[in-house]
């Protein structure tokens, strides 16, 4: 029987991977890739060996050292940022050797953040199902993969069977309309979306990003957009692949070659949502006049244009949201009505799986050239991978950062999650994806922003609208 309507990208990829329907909307899926970083991967492998099992498909599993490694400049050999972190790295090394799993270690030229390394090596490809013990695996949707985060027990199950039982989600399409202004980027798009629909709006949904503004994004920016999917509580976020993606992936280490590449591209071209496909939810956002976005609170939905003011909780009708805003302002030590650009900062951070790719570093460096970080501001840049670090250095970007007053680090997750002992009771403007209480260190107050906004704020010592500096040659 012919379908009443066409299929979405998600429908096509999901149905290609269904092994069996288990009832109540749950499908047993074939998993194409399991990625294991040093913190969760060691636990998965320990549980597997304790059960007396081996890896079902070790060639489809990749271990990557990123979360626990110290990114301090030029330290060799590279170890964990504290003793327990070194123990996690050592456990991951032993377990991957025991199970015959490919490991990208700290001394590997490909080392870096899992969600950065997977696309740039071709481990992640369009139409693949990819899981990892990290919620930001949705980043891989930027090249048309279906990636999602899992728990350690689920990871152990994938190791043992290369399958996973998943509840089929609803579908959502977010259409970004118009032409993105030069001063705005994918991070601003994501923050604007979350500010509009709320941090819980994607619960239970698989989200396709579409529209002319998305199609105009470079591949690396698409990964930034998809990275933030989980910040509005969706598990999956993706953009159907196109020629930009195919050009990006061609020749990558783990990508198909020769006639297999041609067959793969022919298949990938057919994965896009059909013209008559229907979604459970559709959201339209015009980005033609999008301003740089900055968070003021402790949720990505606590966001405003950079030239705005801290809102008043009293203006929020919903009592739960009002209480959350009041708590956020108390933690952030901010008063309603304060101009965002009057808020001083102690640190500026460029890095993480959200905004640490070469294009991000180029954007920040172009602004920083000839400028200096403000006195008293700790400024740090952590490239997303060793390959990105080498490419940036070949272009001389590292000299721009260093001369401006930034620390230039080795690749890794860096100070995304705990401040690594350096962020404590300070205010930091960051390209990361999370700003909840204590995320970047005890009592540390994080403002999420784009690389351009972070660079501008580092120079002035306060949250800054880069447009004012560019137009005034500041």
Give all domains of the chain, ordered by start, each with its CATH number: 1-291 (3.30.499.10), 294-472 (3.30.499.10)
Predicted pLDDT of residue 77: 87
Place of tokens 């909307």: 25
Overall average pLDDT of the 272-294 stretch: 98
Contact 388, 405 (CB under 8 A): no
Overall average pLDDT of the 127-150 stretch: 98
Overall average pLDDT of the 284-289 stretch: 98
Range ranked top by mean pLDDT from 69-78, 289-298, 415-424: 289-298
Contact 297, 335 (CB under 8 A): no
Predicted pLDDT of residue 464: 98
Predicted pLDDT of residue 3: 61
3-class DSSP state of 237 = strand
Contact 76, 70 (CB under 8 A): no
What whole-number distance in Å separates Cα of residue 336 and Cα of residue 302?
Answer: 13
3-class DSSP state of 129 = strand
In this prediction, residue 50 has a pLDDT band, given cuts at 50, 70 and 90, of very high
Region of poorest pLDDT, from 46-60, 67-81, 196-210: 67-81
Predicted pLDDT of residue 1: 45
Overall average pLDDT of the 233-238 stretch: 98
Q: What is the DSSP letter of 167?
A: E
Predicted pLDDT of residue 421: 87
Overall average pLDDT of the 116-135 stretch: 98
Overall average pLDDT of the 372-384 stretch: 98
Overall average pLDDT of the 454-471 stretch: 95
Task: State how far Cα 38 lies from the chain centre.
Answer: 17
Overall average pLDDT of the 371-394 stretch: 98
What whole-number distance in Å separates Cα of residue 124 and Cα of residue 143?
Answer: 8
Specify the pTM: 0.96
What whole-number distance in Å separates Cα of residue 214 and Cα of residue 188?
Answer: 13
3-class DSSP state of 283 = strand
Q: How far is CA 37 from CA 65, 149, 397, in A?
A: 6, 12, 28
Overall average pLDDT of the 352-372 stretch: 98
Overall average pLDDT of the 336-357 stretch: 98
Residue 87 pLDDT > 60 = yes
In this prediction, residue 474 has a pLDDT band, given cuts at 50, 70 and 90, of very low
Predicted pLDDT of residue 223: 98
Overall average pLDDT of the 39-66 stretch: 95
Predicted pLDDT of residue 74: 80
In this prediction, residue 470 has a pLDDT band, given cuts at 50, 70 and 90, of confident
Mean pLDDT, the chain, integer: 96
Phi, psi of 470 (to 5 degrees): -65, -40
CA angle 295, 296, 301 (to 5 degrees): 55
Predicted pLDDT of residue 4: 62
Predicted pLDDT of residue 473: 45
Overall average pLDDT of the 153-158 stretch: 97
Predicted pLDDT of residue 471: 77
Q: How far is CA 445 from CA 10, 63, 204, 295, 338, in A?
A: 37, 32, 29, 11, 16
Residue 114 pLDDT > 70 = yes
Bridge-based pairing state of the strands 18-23 and 26-30: antiparallel
């Amino acid at each position: 029987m012919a379908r009443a309507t066409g299929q979405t990208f998600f429908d096509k990829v999901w149905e290609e991977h269904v092994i069996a329907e288990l009832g109540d909307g749950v499908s047993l899926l074939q998993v194409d890739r399991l990625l294991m970083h040093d913190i969760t991967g060691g636990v998965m492998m320990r549980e597997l060996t304790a059960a007396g099992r081996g890896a079902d498909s070790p060639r489809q599993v990749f271990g990557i050292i990123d979360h626990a490694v110290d990114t301090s400049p030029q330290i060799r050999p590279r170890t964990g940022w504290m003793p327990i972190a070194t123990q996690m790295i050592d456990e991951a090394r032993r377990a991957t050797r025991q199970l015959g799993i490919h490991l990208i270690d700290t001394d590997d030229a490909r080392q870096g953040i899992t969600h950065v390394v997977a696309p740039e090596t071709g481990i992640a490809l369009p139409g693949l199902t990819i899981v990892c013990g990290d919620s930001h695996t949705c980043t891989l949707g930027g090249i048309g993969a279906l990636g999602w985060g899992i728990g350690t027990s689920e990871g152990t199950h994938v190791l043992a069977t290369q399958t996973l039982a998943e509840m089929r989600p609803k579908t959502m399409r977010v259409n970004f309309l118009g032409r993105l202004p030069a001063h705005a980027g994918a991070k601003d798009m994501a923050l604007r979306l979350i500010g509009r629909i709320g941090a819980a709006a994607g619960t239970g949904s698989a989200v396709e990003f579409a529209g002319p503004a998305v199609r105009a994004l470079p591949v690396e920016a698409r990964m930034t957009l998809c990275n933030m999917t989980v910040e509005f509580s969706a598990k999956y976020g993706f953009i159907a692949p196109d020629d930009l993606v195919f050009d990006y992936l061609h020749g990558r280490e783990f990508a198909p070659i020769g006639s297999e590449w041609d067959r793969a591209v022919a298949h990938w071209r057919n994965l896009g949502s059909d013209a008559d496909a229907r979604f459970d939810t559709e959201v339209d956002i015009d980005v033609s006049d999008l301003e740089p976005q900055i968070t003021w609170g402790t949720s990505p939905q606590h966001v405003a244009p950079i030239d705005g003011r801290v809102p008043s909780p009293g203006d929020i009708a919903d009592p739960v949201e009002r209480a959350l805003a009041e708590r956020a302002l108390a933690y952030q030590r901010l008063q309603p009505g304060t101009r965002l650009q009057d808020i001083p900062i102690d640190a500026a951070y460029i890095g993480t799986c959200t905004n640490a790719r070469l294009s991000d570093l180029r954007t920040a460096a172009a602004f920083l050239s000839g400028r200096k970080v403000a006195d008293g501001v700790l400024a740090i840049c952590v490239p997303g991978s060793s390959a990105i670090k080498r490419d940036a250095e070949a272009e001389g970007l590292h000299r721009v950062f260093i001369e401006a007053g930034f620390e230039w680090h080795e690749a890794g997750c860096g100070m995304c999650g705990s401040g690594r002992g350096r962020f404590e009771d300070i205010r930091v403007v960051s390209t990361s994806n999370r700003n909840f209480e204590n995320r970047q260190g005890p009592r540390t107050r994080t403002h999420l922003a784009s690389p351009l906004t972070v660079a501008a704020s580092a120079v002035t010592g306060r949250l800054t609208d880069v447009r004012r500096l560019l137009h005034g040659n500041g």
